[in-house]
Amino acid sequence: MDKMQGETVRLDRVHNRLLIIDQTKLPNQKLILELHTLEKMVLAIQTLQVRGAPAIGVAAAIGLSVLAGESTETDVEKFKAEFSENARRLENARPTAVNLAWAVGQMCAVVKENNNATVPVLKDLLYQKAQELHDRDIAVCRAIGENGAPLLKNCKRVLTHCNAGRLATVKYGTALAPIYIAKEQGHSLSVYADETRPLLQGARLTAYELCEAGIDTTVLCDNMASYVMGKGLVDAVLVGCDRVAANGDTANKIGTSGLAVLASFYHIPFYVCAPFSTIDLNAQSGKDIPIEMRDGEEIRSLWYQKPLLPENAKTLNPAFDITPHKLITAFITEKGVLQPKDFSVV
């Protein structure tokens, strides 16, 4: 039987392991990693073996429960100190996706709220919470799909950026969930997937999972979006997000803001698909969202037999950019299709 059961991130309670699909190996190899050490979990998040805001949040939560289960500490205060250090390291593995901090915070609350619990009880509660966050992600993404599918009723072709599909969550995805649900309902859409330089999440991952699901997929180089939009070939843009500020400014994969500018120019609806856990009401605007800067080698040499750039050329490698809220038609969430003014009232 498929160990992952169609999911991207799972808890193997029997062997006490965090299971992930190694996304650096896709689409050529489906390798399942079974993790039980902090170092490997942090590395998996930083090197994008597991990636996508909801998926790294669930992976960190399951990781914390596995690490608690591995602990040989019997003194409850020392156990809690060990847990806090694991939580700090996992939370700091990547800075932009607020789901990571949110999920770690949910796990920390379990320890805080059960102050008098023994070590075995805490271990059990942490497993339960991690499983709950895993199951919740599936339900939330399905609801995003159900809320988004009606918006695509009159659409034939949508464009997406990066990977905000099932590989970026436990199952279903965010931006791709409305496409999966529409298909279930008998409405098949065609998808343009931006390749998404420099790490090619669109070309490698979005194309992989959509083709696997039997959805008509065309991969575009990132600089081709204006061409297809200008020809009238795109009816809607759907993207995911890593953090949404209170005013609706949205951090997502580098290149998203450029697409939003193009969509506005060509009068194409631009939807951001967002679990509520990605909305950070503590960030007033995009200025308050930290942007991860990554190693220039991802641009210089990662995909090439020899370095692509002249030796003295510098690189700039921001992993995310901010799309101003005024370019976003609506946010498709598990609570409905919303505008930023609704965030604090629904």
Stretch that binds ligand MRU, among 51-59, 227-235, 324-332, 334-342 (CB under 6 A): 51-59
Assess contact for 97 and 242: CB atoms under 8 A: yes
Candidate residues 51, 80, 89, 136; the one interacting with ligand MRU per rule CB under 6 A: 51
Candidate residues 201, 206, 250, 277; the one interacting with ligand MRU per rule CB under 6 A: 201
Q: Is 242 a catalytic residue?
A: yes
State in angstroms the smallest separation of the CB of 166 from ligand MRU. 9
Assess contact for 95 and 110: CB atoms under 8 A: no
Candidate residues 174, 190, 217, 329; the one interacting with ligand MRU per rule CB under 6 A: 174
What φ, ψ does residue 98 adopt, rounded to 5°?
-70, -20
Q: Which residue(s) pair with 272 in the sheet?
A: 239, 331
Per DSSP, the three-state class of 154 is: coil
206: contact with ligand MRU by CB under 6 A: no
240: contact with ligand MRU by CB under 6 A: yes
Binding mask 248-267 for ligand MRU (x = CB under 6 A): ----xx--------------
Cα torsion 325, 48, 134, 82: sign: negative
Burial 25-36 (b: 16+ CB within 10 A, else e): ebeeeeeebebb
Candidate residues 67, 87, 164, 262; the one interacting with ligand MRU per rule CB under 6 A: 164
168: contact with ligand MRU by CB under 6 A: yes
Of 248, 228, 217, 223, which Cα lies nearest the Cα of 332?
248
126: contact with ligand MRU by CB under 6 A: no
Assess contact for 50 and 8: CB atoms under 8 A: yes
**Opening angle at CA 111, ends 281 and 284, nearest 5:** 10
Q: Which residue number, 53 or 61, has a Cβ lying nearer to ligand MRU?
A: 53
Region of 147 on the Ramachandran plot (φ > 0 left; ψ -120 to 50 alpha; else beta): alpha
Binding mask 31-50 for ligand MRU (x = CB under 6 A): -----------------x--
- CB atoms < 10 A from the CB of 4, how many? 16
State in angstroms the smallest separation of the CB of 124 from ligand MRU. 30
Per annotation, catalytic residue among 194, 222, 242, 249: 242
Residues making contact with ligand MRU (CB under 6 A): 48, 51-54, 97, 162, 164, 168-169, 173-174, 201, 240-242, 252-253, 319
Active site residues: 242
